[in-house]
Amino acid sequence: MKMTLGKDGDRTYMNVKYTDSEWKKISMQLEKLGLEKSITSNGFGVGNTLNYYRDRNEKFKRFILNKLSSTVNSSLVNDNINSSFFVSQPKNVNIAVFRVIPDNLELQIPLPDLFVNAADWSDIIHVMSEVYTIIFSLITEASAEITFVE
């Protein structure tokens, strides 16, 4: 998974790109949590039509909050597909980005038209990297080779 910031005209976006195997593993985990595929016409509060995994009982948010380190204040975490990616007052970052089904393994999440200062960027980066680490731990596979010597 690779996240970058981009600009298209006056609009700023967070671009997310997955590998095929990453997205397959993430979608399997979301389905294991009981999330169902759905469509919204107001993705991130800007009228984007998005395919996503609907979380009727906040299972994904609770799962993430249970695994977040103590360095992330849970009030910074929002998980609403129809809310802005970032809100400055009260400050929160929308982790629903991880539930959006990407087209061709890529998504563009519009960032709000507001001034984002260095402290805000720090919070965004901190929350997203913590959640990314949790998501990454779900999709990695470990293998070990054990050799017995007589």
| In a domain? residue 54 | yes
Q: What is the mean pLDDT of the chain?
A: 84
43 bridge partner residues: 48
94 bridge partner residues: 78
Task: Give the domain extent around 68.
Answer: 2-139
Structural domain tally of the chain? 1
CA atoms within 13 A on the CB side of 79: 19
CA 60 to chain centroid: 10
**Is the per-residue pLDDT at 139 higher than 70?**
no
Of residues 138 and 2, more confidence is placed in: 2
B/e letters for 4-42, b = 16+ CB within 10 Å, e = fewer, are: eeeeeeeeebbebebeeebbebbbebbeeeebeeeebee
| In a domain? residue 146 | no
What is the reported pTM? 0.82
| In a domain? residue 150 | no
